[in-house]
Amino acid sequence: MAKNMKEIAAMIEFAAKQAIQKQSSTKKTMVKTGQEHVQFDVYDAYDPLVYERTTFLKDSFVIENHTNGISLDNTREDNGQDVATVVETGQGYTYPDEYGYGYGKPRPFMKNAAESLKDGRLILATKKDLNASGVKTE
């Protein structure tokens, strides 16, 4: 039994971390949001003429558990090149831009996904995970 508010807060924080790491609603919401931003921010930006899209960027999201919660990352690589970072920052493109697409322009799908998650969808998913783990929320 908790003795003070600090202990109650620690217990709630621990329960929340456990819930989002074990349940899947929060993780699914994060991955789905990332995939939506790859589609909108990256794939819908142009149709490439120099190369053929693999769509692997959209399928390369991973969730990792950490001591303080979870994180979303995109691990897409090609021949040792961090494709996700190249697309996000626009730095490191090796395709010639003879068609004027602006291949080297940043398409910050990860940053935009993080911003989208602030709209309340992540809170709703976390509440769902908490309820599923036995912690009732309103």
pLDDT tens digits, one per residue of 28-84: 999 999 999 999 999 998 887 777 889 999 999 999 988 888 999 999 999 999 999
Q: Which residue has the higher pLDDT, 72 or 4?
A: 72
Q: Which residue has the higher pLDDT, 7 or 41?
A: 41
Residue 55 lies in a domain: yes
Residue 102 lies in a domain: yes
Q: What's the confidence (pLDDT) of residue 110?
A: 98
Percent of the chain with pLDDT over 70: 93
Residue 138 lies in a domain: no
Residue 85 lies in a domain: yes
Give the span between the Cα atoms of 31 and 111, in whole angstroms. 13
Q: What's the confidence (pLDDT) of residue 48?
A: 78
Sign of CA dihedral 134, 135, 136, 138: negative
Q: What's the confidence (pLDDT) of residue 102?
A: 67
Q: What's the confidence (pLDDT) of residue 99?
A: 67
Give the span between the Cα atoms of 119 and 113, in whole angstroms. 10
| Domain span at 125 | 5-132
Instruction: Go through 94-108 and write b for each residue having 16 or more CB atoms within 10 A of its CB, e for each that does not.
Output: eeeeeeebebeeebb
Residue 16 clears pLDDT 90, i.e. is over it: no
| Band of residue 7 on the pLDDT scale cut at 50, 70, 90 | confident
Q: How far is CA 3 from CA 6, 9, 10, 106, in A?
A: 8, 11, 11, 51
Give the span between the Cα atoms of 112 and 119, in whole angstroms. 12
Residue 19 clears pLDDT 70, i.e. is over it: yes
Residue 137 lies in a domain: no
The average confidence (pLDDT) of the chain is 88
- pTM comes to 0.85
Residue 126 lies in a domain: yes
Single-letter code of the amino acid located at 100: G
Q: What's the confidence (pLDDT) of residue 118?
A: 96
Residue 101 lies in a domain: yes
Total domains present in the chain: 1
